Structure 1
Amino acid sequence: MNPDIQLRHEVFAQLNWDPAVCSCDVDVRVADGVVTLHGQLASEDLKSAVERAVRRAEGVTLIVNRLTTAECANND
């Protein structure tokens, strides 16, 4: 299996395992071990929890967190 596809599966496994983030709608893209996260979440705390879950996935070399929060959108 392609290592990036395998890592993407591992990232989703970590997100689904963590009860704090399992219901989040996060788009995950992986290229050469770099995980890029896209989507809008309800809070900064949830954004941090998603990143912590992704860090648990073996093989992640870098996380590019492009998640936004409703809190940020409300401040515009």
Structure 2
Amino acid sequence: MNPDIQLRHEVFAQLNWDPAVFGCDVDVRVADGVVTLRGQLASEDLKNAVERAVRRAEGVKRIVNQLTTAECASND
């Protein structure tokens, strides 16, 4: 199996395992071990929890966190 596809599956497994972030709508893309996260979440705490969950996935070289929060959007 392609290592990036395998890593993407592992990232989703971590997101589905963690009750703090289960059910979050996060777009996950992986290229050469670099995980890019996109989407909008309800809070900065949730954004940080998603990143912590992704860091648990074996094989992550780097995380590019492009997640935004509703808190941020309401301040614009």
Cα deviation for residue 27 of structure 1 reads 0.1
Q: Partners in 1 of 2:23 and 2:75 — Cα distance?
A: 24
Q: Partners in 1 of 2:35 and 2:64 — Cα distance?
A: 6
Q: Partners in 1 of 2:13 and 2:23 — Cα distance?
A: 12
Structure 1: which 5+ residue stretches go unaligned? none
Residue 3 of structure 2: aligned partner? 3
Structure 2: which 5+ residue stretches go unaligned? none
3-state SS of paired residue (2:4): helix
Percent of residue pairs identical: 89
Cα deviation for residue 23 of structure 1 reads 1.1
Residue 12 of structure 1: aligned partner? 12
Alignment of 1:33-72 (within 5 A): 33-72=33-72
Give the total of aligned pairs.
Answer: 76
Structural RMSD (CA):
0.2
Q: Deviations over 1:40-71 (max 9, x none)?
A: 00000000000000000000000000000000
3-state SS of paired residue (1:72): helix
- TM-score, scaled to structure 1: 1.00
3-state SS of paired residue (2:23): coil
